[in-house]
Amino acid sequence: MPTAASGPTRSITSTSWDRPRRRAIVVGGSLAGLCAALALSASGWEVTILEQSTQPPAGMGMSIDVALLSAVTGLDMRALPVIETGFPATGWGLLRQALADAVERQPRIDLREGVRALAVVDGQTDVVVETNAGMHRAEFVVGADGYASTVRRLVSPEEPHAEYGGVVLWRGLVDESDIPGGFTTRDIGFAFRPAGTQMLATYVIPGARGELDPGHRRGVFISFDCSRDALLRRDGYVNGTVVKATVHGSGLSRTEIEDLHHETRQWPAPWGRAAAIAVRERAFIGTPIAEFLPSRLVRGRVAILGDAAHSVSPITGGGFHNGLLDVASLVSALDETPDVTRALRRYEEHRLAPVRALVTRSRAWSRSFVRSDPCG
Ligand SMILES: Cc1cc2nc3c(=O)[nH]c(=O)nc-3n(C[C@H](O)[C@H](O)[C@H](O)COP(=O)(O)OP(=O)(O)OC[C@H]3O[C@@H](n4cnc5c(N)ncnc54)[C@H](O)[C@@H]3O)c2cc1C
The stretches of 147-281 forming alpha helices (DSSP H) are 152-155, 185-188, 229-234, 254-264, 271-280
Q: How much is the average pLDDT of 248-277?
A: 92
Distance CA 138, CA 122 (A): 10
Residue 184: the pLDDT is 95
pLDDT tens by residue, 343-372? 999 999 999 999 999 999 999 999 998 888
Q: Which atom of ligand 1 is nearest to the CA of 33?
A: 25
Distance CA 172, CA 278 (A): 7
Residue 72: the pLDDT is 97
Measure 65 CA to ligand 1 centroid, in angstroms.
Answer: 16
Which DSSP category does 3 fall into? -
| pLDDT exceeds 90 at position 375 | no
Residue 57: the pLDDT is 77
| Residue nearest atom 29 of ligand 1, based on CA coordinates | 30
H or E element, residue 102: helix 92-104
| Residue nearest atom 20 of ligand 1, based on CA coordinates | 320
Q: Which atom of ligand 1 is nearest to the CA of 32?
A: 25
Lateral strand order in the sheet of 61-63: 61-63, 88-91, 83-84
| Average pLDDT score, the chain | 92
**At 7, is the pLDDT very low, low, confident or very high (cuts 50, 70, 90)?**
low
Lowest mean per-residue pLDDT among 52-56, 93-97, 205-209 = 52-56
Which DSSP category does 243 fall into? E
Q: Which domains are delineated in the chain?
A: 6-161+292-368 (3.50.50.60), 165-290 (3.30.9.60)
CB-CB contact of 205 with 61 (8 Å): yes
In this structure, the residues whose C-beta lies within 6 A of any atom of ligand 1 are: 27-33, 50-53, 60, 62-63, 116-117, 144-146, 150, 169, 171, 222, 287, 306-307, 314, 317-321, 323
Q: Which of 53, 94, 145 to mutate to test the pocket of ligand 1 (most atoms within 8 A of CB)?
A: 145
Cis peptide before 20 (omega within 30 of 0): no
Q: 305-318: string of b/e by CB count within 10 Å (b at 16+)?
A: bbbbbbbbbbbbeb
Measure 160 CA to ligand 1 centroid, in angstroms.
Answer: 17
> CB-based contacts of 364: which residues, under 8 Å, 6+ apart?
none
The gap between the terminal CA atoms of the chain, to the nearest Å, is 50
Distance of CA 170 to the CA centre of its chain: 16
Distance CA 248, CA 281 (A): 11
Q: Taking the CA atoms of the chain, what radius of gyration do you get in angstroms?
A: 21
> CB-based contacts of 184: which residues, under 8 Å, 6+ apart?
none
pLDDT tens by residue, 208-241? 999 999 999 999 999 999 999 999 999 999 999 9
Q: Name the residue among 53, 30, 50, 57 with its Cα closest to residue 117.
A: 50
Sort 76 into a burial class: Cβ within 10 Å, 0-12 / 13-18 / 19+: middle
Residue 371: the pLDDT is 86
| pLDDT exceeds 70 at position 138 | yes
| pLDDT exceeds 80 at position 374 | no
Measure 30 CA to ligand 1 centroid, in angstroms.
Answer: 6
Q: How much is the average pLDDT of 287-315?
A: 97
Backbone angles phi, psi at 66, to 5 degrees: -65, -35
Residue 21: the pLDDT is 65
Residue 6: the pLDDT is 62
Distance CA 206, CA 62 (A): 11
